[in-house]
């Protein structure tokens, strides 16, 4: 089974410590959500896992092979049409053009894009369509590990729901592991198997919540009630600035843990 283990991760920008003694585990087929306020180092941590940033210190072991990222901004190549953006990774892997085109059509259908949309350039696509292309590009290489940096935050509720379903399908069909960051606690409750609460100054983990209810059985009422339950947790309230209090600097995996029951 593919897995990721991080211990004693520190990162500094100059003299400013942005991550301190961070630790986490992630396994194939699991979705882990990192939540917390702005400035707590969520994106920095994701960039380190993606290999886009070298940490100051870390003990990290990963057996995931294919890694794909989806960011809040779609980051499409403006000089390539939607089909070529979707198959960018496949081209890098040496997949023949005809096979890439077939894959682009298949993924477009999954994402609710038409064959005509595949010939359009990013400036001709709406924001929602660009987000679909961005997710399709990540899924095209069938990654073992999918990293999500708030890709749904600017989308309307209907489109969010569609892309949530695509993400859930990818996890269930292919056993993809997902590491996602979000400001939206309800989104984390809807999608994740475990939630890690981060706080800033320096960025660190202070609380872990395991969601026992299978994703397929999570009704809207369950999501609302579980989110409300989490919002009563002291570490969560302090972390989001909803209550006064001091949170100690914890060592790797020294955060409080709780298993959520079905409501």
Nearest alpha-carbon partner for 48 in 79, 85, 11, 74: 11
Nearest alpha-carbon partner for 42 in 29, 24, 27, 57: 24
CA-CA distance, 250 to 252, in Å (whole number)? 7
Q: Are 192 and 214 in contact (CB under 8 A)?
A: no
Q: Confidence class of residue 263 from pLDDT cuts 50, 70 and 90?
A: very low
Q: Are strands 177-182 and 145-149 parallel, antiparallel or unpaired?
A: parallel
pLDDT of residue 20: 94
CA-CA distance, 34 to 46, in Å (whole number)? 9
Nearest alpha-carbon partner for 203 in 45, 47, 25, 54: 45
Predicted confidence (pLDDT) per residue in 112-121, tens digit: 899 999 999 9
CA-CA distance, 81 to 74, in Å (whole number)? 13
Res 255 pLDDT > 70: no
Predicted confidence (pLDDT) per residue in 152-195, tens digit: 887 888 888 888 888 998 898 889 999 999 989 999 999 999 99
Q: Confidence class of residue 252 from pLDDT cuts 50, 70 and 90?
A: low
Q: Are 42 and 79 in contact (CB under 8 A)?
A: no
- Planar angle of CA 36, 39, 40, nearest 5 degrees: 50
Output 151 or 81, whichever has higher pLDDT. 81
pLDDT of residue 262: 42
Give start and end residues of each alpha helix (H) in the chain.
42-50, 82-86, 88-92, 97-110, 115-118, 127-140, 157-174, 185-191, 220-230, 234-239
Q: Which range among 182-191, 208-217, 241-250, 252-261 shows the weakest confidence by mean pLDDT?
A: 252-261
Predicted confidence (pLDDT) per residue in 11-30, tens digit: 999 999 999 999 999 999 99
pLDDT of residue 159: 83
Res 209 pLDDT > 90: yes
Question: pTM of the prediction?
Answer: 0.91
Predicted confidence (pLDDT) per residue in 230-244, tens digit: 999 999 998 888 888
Enumerate the domain spans of the chain: 67-142
CA-CA distance, 101 to 88, in Å (whole number)? 11
pLDDT of residue 250: 55
Predicted confidence (pLDDT) per residue in 121-151, tens digit: 999 999 889 999 999 999 999 999 999 998 8
Output the average pLDDT for the chain: 90
Res 63 pLDDT > 50: yes
Nearest alpha-carbon partner for 46 in 178, 241, 144: 178
């Amino acid at each position: 089974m593919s897995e990721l283990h991080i211990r004693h991760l520190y990162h500094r920008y100059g003299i400013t410590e942005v991550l301190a003694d961070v630790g986490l585990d992630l396994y194939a087929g699991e979705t882990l959500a990192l939540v917390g306020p702005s400035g707590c180092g969520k994106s920095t941590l994701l960039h380190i896992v993606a290999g886009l940033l070298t940490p100051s210190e870390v003990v990290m072991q990963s057996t995931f092979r294919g890694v794909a990222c989806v960011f809040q901004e779609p980051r499409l190549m403006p000089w390539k049409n939607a089909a070529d953006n979707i198959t960018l990774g496949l081209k890098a892997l040496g997949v023949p053009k005809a096979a890439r085109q077939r894959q682009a059509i298949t993924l477009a259908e999954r994402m609710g894009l038409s064959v005509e949309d595949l010939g359009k350039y990013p400036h001709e696509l709406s924001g929602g369509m660009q987000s679909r292309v961005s997710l399709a590009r990540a899924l095209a290489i069938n990654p073992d590990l999918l990293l999500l940096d708030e890709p749904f935050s600017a989308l309307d509720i209907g489109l969010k729901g569609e892309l949530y379903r695509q993400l859930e399908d990818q996890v269930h069909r292919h056993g993809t592991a997902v590491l996602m960051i979000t400001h939206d606690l309800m989104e984390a409750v809807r999608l994740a198997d475990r939630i890690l609460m981060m706080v800033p100054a320096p960025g660190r983990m202070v609380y872990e919540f395991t969601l026992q209810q299978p994703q397929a059985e999570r009704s809207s009422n369950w999501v609302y009630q579980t989110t409300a339950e989490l919002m009563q947790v002291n570490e969560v309230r302090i972390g989001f600035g909803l209550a006064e209090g001091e949170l100690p600097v914890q060592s790797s995996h020294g955060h409080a843990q709780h298993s959520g029951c079905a409501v």
